[in-house]
Chain A
Amino acid sequence: MDLTVSLPRGLVLKNPIVAASGTFGFGPEYASYVDLNRLGGISVKGISPKPWRGNPPPRVWETPAGLLNSIGLQNPGVDAFITDDIPFLTGVDTAVIANIIGHTVEEYQAVAKRLDAQARIDAFEVNISCPNIKEGGMAFGHDPDQAYQVVRAVRMVTQKPVIVKMSPNLEFPGVIAKAVVDAGADMISAINTLVGLAIDLKARRPALGGGTGGLSGPAIKPVAVRIVYEIASNVAVPVIGMGGVQSAEDVLEFLMAGASAVMVGTITFQHPDRMIRIIDQLPDVLRHYGFSNLNEAVGAALGKAGAVS
């Protein structure tokens, strides 16, 4: 079965499975565990104009069916990414999506401008939804005007496809989705992590060094599916879904909720090769549920809420 996904501005994924930003490093880290050439794409770890040190440890905490993290977007900055990782990625046959972050509109734009000149970067994912940094980040994703400004600034410096990664910590995701599409976003990815808190009982304090953290993993999958469904119902651009995907069935659920592709993250920590298994199993799962190709499944459940007839 052909699993190719054709997205705006010529972005083509060989299959709908993309490594989620922040869970897969910059590519080389997992190269000895996963045949990267088989992936639909890799969204690299968030990149800022200058190096960010990230949040104090501990940075992860296991929760029921979930994982709470407070990494704080530690990264070596865009120059180090270009020098150290682009050469490696040039030898890999998969779509490379640069996840970009900043404290200000200008910082987002600066990273986009630097990477626009890099032929190996196939698309941008503008992260306006990280809950783990104090300035910028999620603040941009919660205000339609600020979200518009960030995306507009990125749009002005690149003709590459622009994906905007949305926060789940919103009352009306559709409002932000419309704002970023108006600003020129070609696609929306959803969801980033949900803000959470865990207490270390022995230490009598929040378990994570950064205080609150972002919740990922199977615990958030129903929230993610709901938000993807809402966004897909409200805007015309393709949606890339994520949140707790562990299996090809989970992928199909996101596709039917309106996603054109899916990102996979937390499960990779336990099973480095799980994305490959999902890619291998997806054709059979699609056929099992009566789809003869991938596109038929996209949005198959949209507009069908209500009584079962």
Chain B
Amino acid sequence: MNSAFEVPIVKRLEPASGHVELLVDSPVLAQGKPGQFCHILTPGTLRRPVSFSRLEPSTGLAGLLIQVVGSGTRWLSDRQVGDTLDVLGPLGRGFAPPRLDRPWLLVGGGTGIPPIYAALQAWRDQVSEPVAVVLGAKTRDALIMVKDVRQLGFEAELTTDDGSQGRIGTVMAPVQEWLAAHPRSQVWACGPTPMLRALHGATQGLSGPVQLALEQRMGCGIGACLACVVPAQPESPDGPAYRRVCTDGPVFEREELAF
């Protein structure tokens, strides 16, 4: 029988202002897949879903990167080494691993960067084709985990909306350039809805799989309450079908979604 369980925080990092990464000692969570999440108890009435920013099955460490946006994430960001978190997880459908015969394109926007890092960490020994990693954020401060990505041995193309680091603009310019040169790419992406919508459009007609990790305000986290839905196929004149981020996602195939 599954249940919530407590995990100790063994390291606390502050990768940027308003961002905290908590590393927890939990072999169970460390067995999770990139793109999966755990649902963390907070003092309010809802748990908070947080995607894995790192997964290290050999050491039993899992990373949870939190951006402070409200009272729940504020409380989480105040947790210290030695505190424990009450978690459900790993939960949800993660990224499918790479196919060997296609170029890779990984795209992370803002707080969507951590799951992309977790994917690179898990798959770094499987590279057999050209790889592009595009990371974007509003400003230089929010461009997190860049050093971590480079330490894994990957080049990262950077963009910021204000041009404070990397190319000015969104991730879409380098994404379009890469896809024009490597149309057989397989794509993994996580980021804000406008970024995913743009990617959804830009990847239409590609032959390779396109996987998008979505975010939504969440209730139970295990598929019962139907709170965390996103517009999905089949779309009809009355509106889209709605599917659950917690159990049908967070990672969806491009064809499953309706933007």
Contacts and interface: CB of A to CB of B under 8 A. Distances in A.
A53 B242 contact: yes
Contacts of A66: 45
Contacts of A65: 45
Contacts of B230: 57
Interface string B48-89: 000000000000000000000001100000000000000010
Nearest to A66: B45
Nearest to B241: A53
A60 B239 contact: no
Interface of A: 22-25, 29-30, 32-33, 35, 45, 53-54, 56-63, 65-67, 69, 71, 74, 217-218, 266, 268-273
Interface stretch (B131-139, B174-182, B217-225): B217-225
13 contacts: A23-B224, A25-B225, A29-B222, A54-B229, A56-B231, A58-B217, A59-B217, A59-B229, A61-B217, A67-B45, A74-B226, A217-B45, A273-B3
A60 B227 CA distance: 6
A44 to B, nearest CB: 10
Given A56-B231, A62-B72, A270-B46, 12 more contacts: A25-B224, A30-B224, A32-B1, A59-B229, A60-B218, A60-B227, A62-B46, A69-B225, A74-B229, A270-B45, A272-B2, A272-B3
A74 B47 contact: no
Interface string B224-253: 111111110000001111100000000000
Given A53-B238, A54-B229, A271 B4 contact: yes
Contacts of B44: 62
B126 interface: no
Interface of B is mostly: loop
B146 interface: no
Contacts of B45: 62-63, 65-67, 217-218, 266, 269-270
Given A29-B222, A58-B217, A269 B88 contact: no
Interface residues of B, number: 33
Contacts of A273: 3-4
A50 B231 CA distance: 19
Contacts of B1: 32-33, 35
B2 A33 contact: yes
Contact of A269 (B2, B46, B241): B46
B220 to A, nearest CB: 5
Interface of B: 1-4, 41, 44-47, 71-72, 88, 216-231, 238-242
B176 to A, nearest CB: 29
Contacts of B71: 62
A67 B47 CA distance: 12
A57 B219 CA distance: 12
Question: Which 7 pairs, one residue from A and one from B, show the smallest C-beta to C-beta distance?
Answer: A25-B224, A29-B224, A60-B227, A58-B217, A59-B227, A269-B220, A32-B2
B233 to A, nearest CB: 12
Nearest to A218: B45
Nearest to B217: A58
Given A23-B225, A32-B1, A57-B230, A272 B46 contact: no
B226 A54 contact: yes
Contacts of A54: 226, 229, 242
Contacts of B227: 57, 59-60, 69, 71
B239 A53 contact: yes
Contacts of B224: 23-25, 29-30, 45
Nearest to A19: B224
Contacts of B242: 53-54, 57, 74
A60 B231 CA distance: 16
Contact of B219 (A35, A56, A74, A269): A269
Nearest to A27: B224
Contacts of A67: 45-46, 219
Contact of B228 (A29, A57, A217, A266): A57
A295 B2 CA distance: 34
A58 to B, nearest CB: 4
A299 B238 CA distance: 48
